[in-house]
Amino acid sequence: MSLESVVSLNVAKFGGTSVADYDAMQRCADIIIANPQTRVVVVSASSGVTNQLVALTQAETSVEESKALIKKIASIQYQILDKLGNPSDVAARIDHILSHISTLSERLKLTRSKAVMDELLSQGEMCSSVFFAAVLREKGASASAFDVRQVLRTDSHHGRAEPQIEMIAELAKQHLEPLLCDQVIVTQGFVGADSEGNTTTLGRGGSDYSAALLAEALQADAVEIWTDVAGIYTTDPRLAPNARPIPEISFNEAAEMATFGAKVLHPATILPAVRQKIQVFVGSSWAPEQGGTWIRHQVKSEPVYRAVAVRRDQTLLNLHSLQMLHAQGFLAETFATLAKHKISVDLITTSEVNVALTLDKTGSDSSGQGLLSEALLQELSQHCRVRVEEGLALVAVIGNNIASTAGVCRRVFEVLETYNVRMICQGASPHNLCILVDEAEAANVIGALHENLFEA
């Protein structure tokens, strides 16, 4: 089959739990084989591996602890290797990656180089891609592992590198597209390379982003995100047992949604797909027969209430300055400082002398560093008083025409009587109403909202 005869091209991404072990990979391989349009597969590291690699990069990790971590990583990988029908196919490759992990971890004891950290962090995806291609071949498919660093060009901001869209498109045309005619290509999520060929990473959870970037570069027709939940629900079913799956949702609603169902799928990560109007599917690799959710540019129905979403572990930054009274430029100065420190702001409210904003943690630095550095706080403190509040959760009511439908606020707030609402954002978007509440109360707030908006 030539690429032209493939009517449409799918990019499928499998998260860490979907490629956790050999059996999980088998299920994913069946999904790939069932759809001949899927020619590009993007995989995360097997569940837990990136966390262990992150621990290896930490300065405080002792030599003994490092040894234990490397052993743990090796045991996850060898369990997969041992189950392969033809392990010799990839054994040397995996051994090489594991010894590379040891070397890099030793090198980090001598230098705290972020480039070395990224090289180390990328090794989980290197292993899972080699294994996944082998599992596909075992099932009779023609498949190879492909080093994504040949095409996923980024800047050199290690830990959270910025992809270079045009270069990626060019490189993908050159190096990746020709390979797709007669085989399935399995490649690494989360990983990139700068113009010098140094390995970079896109930030934690970056594999969805990788899939969307490759789909954009290859002008694919769909991106499938396979995870451990059957799509997007009206809310996390663990918080509201009557939560229902949503078969179809618009990009606009999705873009406002902080979390998708029980699983985080930040809109920024699928932005490249949104840009190109490439439809995105979210489904469970454990139960593909249950279907999932399609995120599309245009959808058939546009209900006022579509979902209630939550994003935990929120930081609220409160800035106070009398400079703000009848002055210009305070916000400009503040945002310039935040931008300089690569902080992306999520919600914002202002009063005459205060600005409150929440920080967007998506893709926080791969090495697990906090967003609020001492340097940033000091710089902000030079022109205002800074207060940081933690332990908050952002709850979002997602839907359509929210800002222009009478009675929405009443229905939302009537069930919140006994809860303290720390911050409210409404009006900027027709698709959401956001409230910030105490993290400890978030589950109850979600339950109450879901019942009132979806179960009445």
Q: Which residues contribute to the annotated binding site for substrate?
A: 50, 125
Sites of contact with ligand ASP (CB under 6 A) = 15-16, 44-45, 50, 124, 189-190, 204-207
Strands (E) in 259-406, as ranges, are 279-284, 292-296, 307-320, 345-350, 354-359, 385-398
How many Å apart are CA 156 and CA 174, to the nearest integer?
22
Of 147 and 389, CB closest to ligand ASP: 147
What is the radius of gyration, based on Cα positions, of the chain?
23
Q: Which is nearer to ligand ASP, 260 or 305 (CB)?
A: 260
* C-alpha–C-alpha distance, residues 66 and 73, integer Å: 11
Q: Does 44 bind Mg ion (CB under 5 A)?
A: yes
Pick 39 or 204: Cβ nearer ligand ASP: 204
- The binding site for ATP comprises 13-16, 227-228, 233, 238, 263-264
CB of 79 vs Mg ion, minimal distance in Å:
19
Binding partner selected for residue 148 from ligand ASP, Mg ion, none, CB under the kind-specific 5 to 8 Å limit: none
Q: Two tokens at 305? A: 């209430």
Strands 191-193 and 199-201: antiparallel
Closest separation in Å from C-beta 51 to ligand ASP: 7
Q: Give dist(CA 129, CA 230) in Å, integer.
A: 23
Which residue number, 151 or 211, has a Cβ lying nearer to Mg ion? 211
Closest CA to 234 of 67, 44, 449, 389: 449
- Cα–Cα distance for residue pair 244/234, rounded to 1 Å: 5
For the bound state, the minimum distance from the C-beta of residue 440 to Mg ion, rounded and expressed in Å, comes to 26
The stretch among 14-22, 51-59, 136-144, 437-445 that binds Mg ion (CB under 5 A) is: 14-22
User: 156 with 200: CB under 8 angstroms?
Assistant: yes
The structure tokens listed for 211 are 């899939």
Residue type, 389: E
Q: How far is the CB of 44 from ligand ASP (least distance, A)?
A: 3
Q: Provide, rounded to whole angstroms, the least separation between the CB of residue 321 and Mg ion.
A: 40
Which C-beta is closer to ligand ASP: that of 81 or that of 191? 191
From the CB of 41, what's the least distance to ligand ASP, in Å? 14
Q: Give the residue with the Cβ less far from ligand ASP, 231 or 363.
A: 363
Of the candidates 205, 189, 200, the one whose C-alpha atom is nearest the C-alpha of residue 42 is: 189
3-state DSSP assignment of residue 303: coil
Choose one: 7-15, 136-144, 164-172, 383-391; the region binding Mg ion (CB under 5 A): 7-15
Report residue 100 as tokens. 């590379």
* Nearest residue relative to ligand ASP (C-beta): 207
Angle (CA) 78 82 85, round 5°: 140
Binding partner at 159 among Mg ion, ligand ASP, none, C-beta below 5 to 8 Å by kind: none
* Among ligand ASP, Mg ion, none, partner that 198 touches (CB below 5 to 8 angstroms by kind): none
Annotated binding site: 13-16, 50, 125, 227-228, 233, 238, 263-264
Q: How far apart are the first and last CA of the chain?
A: 52
| Nearer to ligand ASP among residue 232 and residue 319 (C-beta) | 232
Q: Which is nearer to Mg ion, 51 or 113 (CB)?
A: 51
C-alpha to C-alpha distances, 187 to 147, 176, 443, 446, nearest whole angstrom: 6, 10, 37, 37
Among candidate residues 158, 275, 256, 164, the one with its CA nearest the CA of residue 212: 275
User: What, of Mg ion, ligand ASP, none, does residue 189 touch, CB below 5 to 8 Å by kind?
Assistant: ligand ASP
Longest dimension (CA), the chain: 73
Q: Which does 190 bind (CB under 5 to 8 A by kind): ligand ASP, Mg ion, none?
A: ligand ASP
State which residue has the least CB distance to Mg ion.
Answer: 16
Residue type, 128: S
123 touches, from Mg ion, ligand ASP, none (C-beta below 5 to 8 Å by class):
none
Q: Are the CB atoms for 294 and 246 separated by under 8 Å?
A: no
77: closest CA among 52, 57, 56? 52
CB of 368 vs Mg ion, minimal distance in Å: 14
Which of these ranges, 15-23, 74-82, 96-104, 261-269, lies near Mg ion under the rule CB under 5 A? 15-23
Q: Binder to Mg ion among 11, 14, 16, 206 (CB under 5 A)?
A: 16
Which of Mg ion, ligand ASP, none does 45 bind, CB closer than 5 to 8 A by kind?
ligand ASP
Q: What would the two tokens of residue 184 be?
A: 């399935």
Binding site residues, Mg ion, CB under 5 A: 15-16, 44
